[in-house]
Every structure is written in structure tokens, then in C-alpha cells.
Structure 1
Amino acid sequence: MSVIIQGDQLRTILFGTRVEKAYPTLAVETKSLFTVAGGKVLITSITGEVTTAITVAGTSKLQHNPTVGTTKDLCAATDLGTTDTPVGNLLGFQGLTGDSILTGPGAVPNLKQPLVLTAGVIEQVNATGADGGITWVLTYVALDNGATVTAA
């Protein structure tokens, strides 16, 4: 039996373009993950995969820091280390204001509400204690001709 459409092609049709950013060593800092350029984009999904266990108590959140305008939290600061987050666990949030980062196989939602973002940077903020590593995968659709998202 021949395959007419491949999995990556179906993903692109359903969710848009895929971009990946590894953050292999978390630290207490604000880390640029993705750069939005050229106009508005619709973020259709954003999921993290823990690549090095997170074992130190500390809060992490994602935020959008636009080129013009005010920085906005994409999710609430969440402690990922008090209850260890092991390698392979997935991270995500629903896209609603104030949502915490959820973790665990089967416990991670996709965005209930896609996010419209303008040119700027998507950042991970680790405000207190940090260890471990995360690889983030984001999918998007350009709303303006020429708009893109790239790994920072």
C-alpha cells in the first residue's frame, strides 16, 4: 500500500510550520527561545520535552517580549522541580491567561486557544532555582505575508 501524504506533511497542514529550540542547561535567567519576525503569527502548539531531569525547586514560565508593546506572560510561573520532572516528560499549557505549565505523559494539553503574537521574542524565564534541560517545539501559521518564527 502506498502512502500518499507523509506524517510531517499532515502536521504542516493541521498545525503549520514546526520550529525546535533546545535549552539544554536551565539557569536562573531569561532565555530567548524563539524569534517572531516580519509580522503576526498564530502559534498553534508549543510543547516541551524534558531532556535532563528537573530536580531543583524553582519557577519557570514562558513570555512574549514584543519588539513594540508590553511583555506578556504566556503561562503562569510554575515550579517544575519540587516534585521531580523526569527525562521524557512533556510540558505544555492550554493558552489561557494564568494557566500553569502542566507536565507528564498524557497530562499535557495542546493549546485550547491559539496565540496571536507580533514580532518579538518568546522567552523562558527561570526566576528561582533551576536545573535540567528542555527542548521546546512550536508550530505556527503566518498571519502576515513574510512573518516567520525561528529558533533564537
Structure 2
Amino acid sequence: MSTIIQGSQLRTVLLGSRVEKATGALAAETKALFTVSGGKVLITSIVGEVTTAITAANSYKLQHNPTVGATKDLCAATDIGTTDTPAGNLLGFQGLTGDSILTGPGAVPTIKQPIVLTPGSVEHVSAGTDGAITWVLTYIPLDDNAAVVAA
């Protein structure tokens, strides 16, 4: 039996283009994960996968730092380490500024309301010093030539 449409093609049709970025070892820092350029984009999903367990207290959040304008939180800072977050757990949030990051062993929410971002960067703000996360973001360009790449 042949497959007419592949999984990656279906994902692109439903959610847009996919970009992935590993944080490397978490440190107490603000670090760019993704760069938005060329115009506005619509973020349709963003999900993190813990690749190295997070075992120490870590107030963690994602924010958008636009080229023009003020930095804005994409989710509320959430302690993802005091209660250990093991490797393999997923991280997600629903897309409202006040939402906390939710973690789960097999299922987490993704963006309920897509988010429009202008050129700039999506950053993580980490207060902890252990663990690692790989983030996957999907987006649709709203302006011609708009794109998102791993920072």
C-alpha cells in the first residue's frame, strides 16, 4: 500500500514549518533559541523535550525579544526543577502570557491560541544550572520572506 502524503507533509500543511533548537546545558542566563526575520510569523506550536534531567530549582520561561519594542513573556516563569523533571518529559504551554509551563511524561498542551511575533528572538530565561531541553517550534509566515531559524 502506498502513502499519498507523508507525516512531515501533513504537519507542514496543518502547523507550518518546523524548527528545532537544543538549549545545551542549562545555565542561569537568558539565551536566544530562535530568530524571527523578514516580517511577522504566526507561532502555531512550541514543545520542549527534556533531554537531560532537571533536578535543581529552576525558574524558567520563554520570552519574545523583538528588534523594535519591548520584551514580552510568552509564558509565566515556572519552577521546572524543584520537583525533578526527568529526561523524556515534555514541556508546553497554552499560549496565554500568564500560563505556566506544564510538564508531563507523555502529554502536554501546546498553543491554544497562535502567537504573532515580529522580527527578533525567542529566548529562554533560566535560573537553574542543570538539565537540557530541545525545543520544537512550528510557524506560518504572515509576511512574504518572514522566517524562523534556530539561533
Band of TM-score, shorter chain = over 0.9
Matched, 1:149 2:148: yes
Name the structure 2 match of 1:38.
38
TM superposition score normalised by structure 1: 0.97
State the 1:106 CA deviation: 4.2
Query: Following TM superposition, by how much is the alpha carbon of 1:129 offset from its aligned partner in structure 2, in angstroms?
Result: 2.7
Q: C-alpha distance in 2, partners of 1:58/1:33? A: 18
Unaligned runs of at least 5 residues, structure 1: none
TM-score normalised to structure 2 length: 0.98
Match of 2:91 in 1: 91
Code of the aligned partner of 1:130: T
Task: Give, in whole Å, the separation in 1 of the partners of 2:105 and 2:83.
Answer: 15
Give the CA deviation at 1:58.
Answer: 1.6
Give yes or no for contact 2:89–2:106 (8 Å, CA) kept in 1.
no
Shift of 1:24: 2.0
Q: Please, which runs of 5 or more residues in structure 2 have no aligned partner?
A: none
8 Å Cα contact 1:24-1:51 kept in structure 2: no
Contact 1:34 1:149 in 2 (8 A): yes
Shift, 1:132, TM fit: 0.1
Distance 1:19 1:39 in 2: 17
Count, aligned residues: 151
Deviations 1:113-145 (A, max 9, x none): 00000000000001x333100000000000000
Q: CA deviation at 1:105?
A: 2.9
In the alignment, the residues of structure 1 paired with residue 13 and residue 114 of structure 2 have an alpha-carbon distance, to the nearest angstrom, of: 15
SS of 2:49's partner is strand
* TM-align CA RMSD: 0.8
Letter matched to residue 117 of structure 1: L
Instruction: Find the counterpart in structure 1 of residue 105 from structure 2.
Output: 105
Q: Is the CA contact 1:95–1:111 (under 8 Å) kept in the aligned structure 2?
A: yes
Once the two structures are TM-superposed, the CA of residue 92 in structure 1 deviates from its matched residue by: 0.4
Instruction: Check whether the contact 2:26–2:128 (CA below 8 A) recurs between aligned residues.
Output: no
Q: Distance in 1 between matches of 2:129 and 2:94?
A: 23
Q: Against the structure 1 CA distance between its residues 2 and 107, is the aligned structure 2 distance closer, same or farther, given a 3 Å change threshold?
A: closer
**Percent of aligned pairs with the same amino acid:** 76
With 98-107 and 2-11 compared, the bigger mean Cα shift is at 98-107
Matches within 5 A, 1:1-152: 1-126=1-126, 128-152=127-151
Q: Distance in 2 between matches of 1:116 and 1:50?
A: 26
Give distance in 2, aligned partners of 1:86 and 1:66.
32
